[in-house]
Chain A
Amino acid sequence: MAKFRLNVNTAQAKEREPLPFVTFVFLLAGVLGMLLLFRSPAENDYSAAVVLPFAVILCWAIWFTYNRSKTAFWCLTAASAAACILVPLIMGDVFSAQLLHVIFSLTSDNSPQPMELTELALFLTVILSFGLFVMEGPGRSHALLYLFTTALLLFAPIIDIKANIETAFLLVIFQLSFWTIMSVTRENKKTMLFTKHRLKLAGSSAVALCLALTIAFLAVFPFVAANSTELFDSVYTVEGFIYRTVDNMTGRSEKLVAGGQINNGNNYPTGTPHLEVTVDRLPTESIYLRGFSGGDYKNGNWTNVSDFVPMSVYYHDEEIFYPADLELMLYELNRSEEKEYTVNIRHLNGDYSITYRPYFSSDLLSYDNVAGYYDDEAASIYSLQGDYEVYHGYAEDFAAKDVDVDTGYSYNCTEQKDLLSYNKYDRVDITELSQLLERRRDYIDYAKNRFTAYPKEDLPRLSALVAENPLTELDDITAFILYTLNSNAEYSLTPGWTPWGKEIAEYFLFERKAGYCQHFALVATLMYRMYGVPARYVTGYRVDPNDFYSVSDNEFKTTVTDASAHAWVEIYLKQYGWVPVEVTPSSDGTASFYPGFNGIRLNTLWLQHGWTGADSVHSAAENVQLSEQSDLSDMLNGMNIDLDAIAVPLAIILAAAFLLIAPLFILLRRKRKLKAQMTEGSRSAFYRLTQALEFCGEMQDSDGNEPDFASRLAAAVPDITESEAAEMLSAVSKAAYGNSPADPDEEKTVRTVADRVCSHAYQRLNPFKKLFFKYIKAYV
């Protein structure tokens, strides 16, 4: 059967066609897009009147010289390269300062003061213009550039760089236009029919595509602007569906909630039942089931603090002291004997490694038995229950080991409104009372020290806001915190992601201005601490009283799902111990405040202080930014120490980037070259053959034209016979001087011989030369 090897190579196909004018326009779009992106952060400024015309002229010069004269093009390239090396050397101080500014603005949580970066922008223009041109032109690496520019666009919001619409448009024009040009010009030479003005066709196709893109942008712009909320919600709907599906499939949705990690994304409850709560009397207030209390805060994460951990350090006579004991004793002094009710909690997933405790409660088991005693050697808590010694585990595992999975665990509780407004000291004997008062004093001292700490350096704007509004009274502080939160942030389960490196509390309050319970509780906790009020961030469940249904006259039940998972603040009050403060505006206000503080009091204080707007937050934020900026400015001006500090990490980063990218480039280049070699013509393959021989030091005195070349080649390379070498030479000669188009079989013969010579040459090289031969020359 005939093979019909089609040949599409014609003499005309080898003619060089100039790059059409539109390639200059598309190149310019890419350069301008990146320059605009560079300028997107407010702190990066440059003289657009200088930089942008310079970019236009340079891109045009590159395009023009490349088309007209290769010599002129290489002269321009050399001159630009020289300028890129010499100018930074001559103007080292300026470039260093500008570079440091950019690095600082990228790595710092806080925005530095705007700085004029014209010199750096001009430098960047030269690099970008030549880099993009070379990669798109001779380098033919559009895929890499496409991914790079896409990564720039997509990575920008992650690091809080807000790319504008012009930037996005220009970069996409650059991406798609060169994609089209590449798809036309990068066709397999074996199967691409030659037609005249191929590049012109590629250019006109790219123009058509860009016109379509422009129309798409113009059509989409008003639609998106008018329906942005719905469009953003559509993203959340899809993400929520995926999250819920994954959570349900992996069983993560059943995991109980108790942790100090502030979620920097959206919240998608699945509705999975977590707890079954049973009460013997219908409550009127929300029941806050505390599962986690936050101690120290850093970068969106609270460390756990357990009241079941003994605290001998803070007790002067070195007796073991449990903060939980103190709380139980305080409850004993405030509980209402008549209105006490029982709460039973059952974990539906059977996991009792975390236990939840309502406020103003005591265990059903007697205090003495539950508190047990601390065994130093075993580092565990034990208690006596009847005749048995019960192991309670350590710290938060306290209740886990002795809970009946089927019945759960129970507490006696009193609702906040039913607590006694005074401490009923006669419930405790005088010895215990004395001890209690002493312990309370000690714990308050401890709490005032421990639970008022916050990372000031990470929270400059919030600190400034508090500093601008000095308050001492707890009610005033609470009112101000609630006013700040309510007037500046709205409740949303889908506030989106917090940009990378951003302090989540400040981002929530000053920038995004939307979030859910975790964010509200986080800011409120930090503000309380800033005012010196002991406060802890708490997570657990908030059970709404309306969710209970009646099982019998004295049994009411509710199933608590992950939708009831909640975060709130607890502050320490001398009379009651830790009490919850609801700061999330979505709550219905049934149990929002600590004893003695209610909605009426709140409104009174708001009116009294005139807290009716949101201006205070803005002014604080702006002031902080300015002060930070001046600090940075001073730092940059006096740069001596910082240069040394940043130079080494910078060099390491650059070296690491180079080490990562360079092998990738080399591998890709090698792959491309090897692929090209599989279809290369006879002359090209013969050139490779002679180069390989020369590189390995064989037949150095030969240039391939000698009459005895075939016999010498056969003698030098054992894998090649003289007849093969002669056949190869004949094919090369025909390709060089013949009139007929190259025969594919003959080309294949030459390639095969060249491959064998290259393999032979490779074997003869030393290891270093082998690497060079394989990866730089890409001959094997």
Chain B
Amino acid sequence: MSKIVLLLLAALTYYLAGMYLSLPLMILGTAELLLLIFLVILPRYLKRGLSVSFLKKSETAELGGEMRCQLVIHNTGKLPVSRARLRLKLKYAGEKKEVTRRLYFGAAKGDSETEFSFRTEYCGLIQIKADKLRVYDYMSLYSSSKPLDAYMEAAVFPVSSPLDIDLPAEAFDNTGVSELTADKTGENNDEIRQIREYRTGDSKRHIHWNLSAKTDKLWIKEYQKDADLTAGILLSCGGEIKTQQQSAFYSLFFSLALGLLQSAALVKVCWYDGGKGGYIIDEAANAEQLRELLVRLYRSNLSKADNAPAFEYLFRLTTDLELYGKEKLIRPFTAEDMTVENQYPDLLRRITITL
């Protein structure tokens, strides 16, 4: 619209110059028309020196938190860029459809940094692609675009909310927990490493009731984990699932694994990777390793398996959010329950899983 108005005004100036024989107006009208030509060319020149990249190729954030993405704008041209538009395409790994967002910026000569953020809604791996740059002239009338190839990944982890898992000794023979004995479940006082104050998320089973009663404060018994204690989880996929369901699945898995890591030294996880065409067995010994495992899980193509795995497991979690213990359905969950909006950590905190 603006360019049409400006063009019409330049033409009107030229016309009136002719009608009233005004040389200054004729110069003005001609100069304006020349300037419009310059403005058409300008974006084509400006875009040559302009590029945008992500400062970090990977970022992490907790579900429901802010994901910050830092951008570096490079302007190697001799002129400043008053206005440019960056096209971003965002999607969760595994999703087909991308969400397009456009952001504007200006760029002085040299490098400058900026950032944008967004609130994470689901767990998973977000793939962010800056694929197009549109550069405008100084009056924002004309523009020219160029392709970009900037890419970053943003991993969204579930909220750290371990499940309270009660593992009786008789339940574990040859069911995916190696050398797990009853006294390792916390009944043996000799295995207590320390006693500390209760923190949100701690299992109620480990509350030191006697001491708590004496001091009028909740105390927790921390046990020494056995170096060889390993718990197995099989992740099974029932078919293609939506992002929200997948997010709930990851959250549930993360809580389950964290819950197991409170008792076991190692959690082994097995899933079928459709991309590779075979079962993947991964392991994590602590929350940090578990997050790394989660990223590998995000990247893999979790698919429905044709055959059974050669893997001993105690728990099986399906993408339909059904949790099995020793192949007995413990509890089904729903994707709606497992959202940050519905305070899913509180829900999990209220659940004790007993085999």
Contacts and interface: CB of A to CB of B under 8 A. Distances in A.
Interface of A: 1-8, 10, 150, 153-154, 157-158, 162-165, 167-169, 172, 176, 179-180, 183-184, 187-188, 191-198, 200-202, 204-206, 208-209, 212-213, 216-217, 219-221, 223-225, 228, 231-232, 234-236, 238-239, 265-266, 496-497, 499, 512, 740-741, 743
A172 B138 CA distance: 15
A231 B103 contact: no
B90 A4 contact: yes
B216 interface: no
B139 A180 contact: yes
Contacts of A192: 103-105
Contacts of B265: none
B30 interface: yes
Contact of A6 (B27, B101, B107): B101
Contacts of B115: 10, 193-194
Given A5-B119, A150-B13, A163-B22, 7 more contacts: A1-B99, A2-B126, A157-B22, A172-B31, A176-B139, A220-B30, A228-B26
Nearest to A499: B20
Contacts of A213: 31, 35
Contacts of B99: 1-4
Contact of A743 (B21, B108, B119, B136): B119
A141 to B, nearest CB: 15
Given A168-B24, A220-B27, A499-B20, A6 B116 contact: yes
**Of residues B35, B66, B102, B138, which shows the largest number of chain A Cβ atoms within 10 Å of its Cβ?**
B138
Contacts of B42: 212
Contacts of B102: 191
Given A2-B92, A2-B243, A232-B18, A224 B30 contact: yes
21 contacts: A3-B99, A6-B116, A154-B9, A154-B25, A157-B16, A163-B24, A167-B24, A168-B24, A176-B35, A180-B138, A184-B106, A205-B106, A205-B138, A213-B35, A220-B27, A225-B27, A235-B18, A239-B18, A266-B19, A497-B20, A499-B20
Nearest to B36: A216
A727 to B, nearest CB: 13
Nearest to A232: B18
Interface string B82-111: 110010101110010101011111111000
Contacts of B95: 1
Interface of B: 9, 12-28, 30-32, 34-35, 38, 42, 66, 71, 73, 79-83, 86, 88, 90-92, 95, 97, 99, 101-108, 112-119, 121-122, 126, 136, 138-140, 243
A183 B139 contact: yes
B38 A150 contact: no
Contact of A212 (B35, B86, B107): B35
Nearest to B139: A179
Nearest to A10: B115
A202 B106 contact: yes
A144 to B, nearest CB: 13
B122 A235 contact: no
B243 A1 contact: yes
Contacts of B20: 157-158, 496-497, 499
Contacts of B24: 162-165, 167-168
Contacts of A234: 18
Nearest to A497: B19
B131 to A, nearest CB: 15
Nearest to B12: A154
A12 to B, nearest CB: 9
Given A162-B22, A228-B26, A741-B66, A183 B114 contact: no
A749 B35 CA distance: 46
Contacts of A5: 118-119
Given A205-B138, A219-B34, A496 B18 contact: yes
Contacts of B38: 212, 216
B32 A197 contact: no
Nearest to A217: B31
Contact of B104 (A168, A193, A225): A193
Contacts of A741: 66, 117
A176 B36 CA distance: 12
A235 B113 CA distance: 50
Nearest to B136: A183
A77 B175 CA distance: 84
B23 A228 contact: yes
Contacts of B22: 157, 162-163
Contact of A183 (B88, B126, B140): B140
A372 to B, nearest CB: 48
Contacts of A164: 24
A4 B101 contact: yes
A150 B12 CA distance: 10
Contacts of B19: 157, 235, 239, 265-266, 496-497
B27 A221 contact: yes
A153 B28 contact: yes
Nearest to A164: B24
Contacts of B103: 6, 8, 191-193
Given A154-B16, A743-B119, A193 B71 contact: yes
Nearest to A206: B138
Given A158-B16, A206-B138, A741-B117, A231 B104 contact: no
A225 B23 CA distance: 7
A164 B138 CA distance: 27
Please list the 4 inter-chain residue pairs (A to B) with the smallest Cβ-Cβ separation, ordered nearest first.
A235-B18, A157-B20, A205-B82, A193-B105
B31 A209 contact: no
B108 A183 contact: no
A172 B102 CA distance: 32
B9 to A, nearest CB: 6
B116 A193 contact: yes
Nearest to B82: A205
A3 B98 CA distance: 10
B107 A201 contact: yes
Contacts of B23: 165, 224-225, 228
A30 to B, nearest CB: 15
Contacts of A184: 82-83, 106
B82 A220 contact: no
B117 A1 contact: no
A236 B306 CA distance: 82
B239 to A, nearest CB: 18
A232 B107 contact: no
Contacts of B138: 180, 183, 205-206, 208-209
Nearest to B100: A4
Given A1-B97, A5-B119, A201-B82, A153 B104 contact: no
B71 to A, nearest CB: 7
Contacts of A266: 19
Contacts of A193: 71, 86, 103-105, 114-116
A2 B90 contact: yes
Contacts of A201: 80, 82, 106-108
Nearest to B89: A4
A225 to B, nearest CB: 7
Contact of A195 (B28, B114, B140): B114
Nearest to A744: B119
A4 B154 CA distance: 12
A6 B101 CA distance: 8
A165 B90 CA distance: 53
B343 to A, nearest CB: 15
A167 B24 CA distance: 9
A217 B26 CA distance: 11
A163 to B, nearest CB: 6
A676 B243 CA distance: 34
A516 to B, nearest CB: 15
Contact of B80 (A150, A153, A208): A208
A217 B116 contact: no
B73 A195 contact: yes
Contacts of B119: 5, 7, 743
B121 A163 contact: no
A458 to B, nearest CB: 21
